[in-house]
Structure 1
Amino acid sequence: MMQRIGVEGSLTNISEALRAKGYDVVELNGGSNVQNCDCCVITGLDSNIMGMQDVQTRGSVIEATGLSADEVIKQIESKTRH
């Protein structure tokens, strides 16, 4: 089963690398499509600005700031391995 990974729109290099590895990549757009993702990759630029958190996914969330696409993929593989 192909894993679905939600990726913030500005992280195109990570989206492309994940697609090349065979992942089903969806763009995160305000959280509306995050519920069916096995993992989400975000920049963290706007994460929890107001000090509030609403959990919208049971999958892992990876904050990609400062990480290469390969490093993000390694984290996804370690978090989604069954």
Structure 2
Amino acid sequence: MRKIAVEEGLTGLSAWLREQGYMVVNPDHGEEVIATIVTGLDQNFMNMQDISTTGTVINASGMVPSQILSRLKELD
């Protein structure tokens, strides 16, 4: 199963991506993932020194779920 990290607060997106076959984890856990989905590359995210991102960061701001899914499929 493809593992992705989804920023807290994107609960609906997390549930939908699970339905699409993705294992969704919290980015705070530092697990190896193919992508991390965030709502924006704000200063708070960029200064999280205890979080390591192993995959692509996808900024979900302004995107609909199908667009995010398309980006994820490009990584497969």
**TM-score scaled by structure 2?**
0.79
Q: 2-side partners of 1:8 and 1:63: how far apart?
A: 10
Structure 1: gaps (5+ residues)? none
Alignment partner of 2:64 out of 36, 57, 68: 68
Query: Alignment partner of 1:17: what SS?
Result: helix
Runs of 4+ in 1 over 2 A off after TM superposition: 51-55
- What is the match of residue 48 of structure 1? 43
Q: CA RMSD in A?
A: 2.2
**Displacement after TM superposition at 1:60 (Å):** 0.4
Q: 2-side partners of 1:20 and 1:61: how far apart?
A: 21
Higher-Rg member (1/2)? 1
Query: Alignment partner of 1:37: what SS?
Result: coil
Contact persistence 1:41–1:64 (CA under 8 A): yes
Structure that is richer in helix per residue:
2
Map 1:1-82 onto structure 2 (within 5 A): 2-28=1-27, 31=28, 33-44=29-40, 47-48=42-43, 56-78=52-74, 80-81=75-76
Count, aligned residues:
74
Aligned residues with identical type, % of pairs: 30
Q: 2-side partners of 1:38 and 1:72: how far apart?
A: 13
**TM-score scaled by structure 1?**
0.74
